[in-house]
A and B are shown apart, each in its own frame.
Chain A
Amino acid sequence: EAGVVQSPRYKIIEKKQPVAFWCNPISGHNTLYWYRQNLGQGPELLIRYENEEAVDDSQLPKDRFSAERLKGVDSTLKIQPAELGDSAVYLCASSGMGAATTGELFFGEGSRLTVL
Chain B
Amino acid sequence: SQQGEEDPQALSIQEGENATMNCSYKTSINNLQWYRQNSGRGLVHLILIRSNEREKHSGRLRVTLDTSKKSSSLLITASRAADTASYFCATRKPSGTYKYIFGTGTRLKVLA
Contact = CB atoms under 8 A, between A and B. Distances in A.
Interface of A: 4, 31, 33, 35, 40-45, 48, 50, 55-56, 59, 91, 93, 95, 97, 102-110, 112
Nearest to A104: B45
Contacts of A31: 98
Most buried by A among B31, B33, B42, B104: B42
A44 B104 CA distance: 10
Interface size class of B (residues with CB under 8 A): 20 to 34
B88 interface: yes
B111 to A, nearest CB: 20
A56 B98 CA distance: 10
A91 B42 contact: yes
B42 A108 contact: yes
Contact of B48 (A42, A91, A97, A104): A104
A48 B77 CA distance: 35
Contacts of A104: 33, 45, 48
Given A43-B88, A44-B2, A105 B45 contact: yes
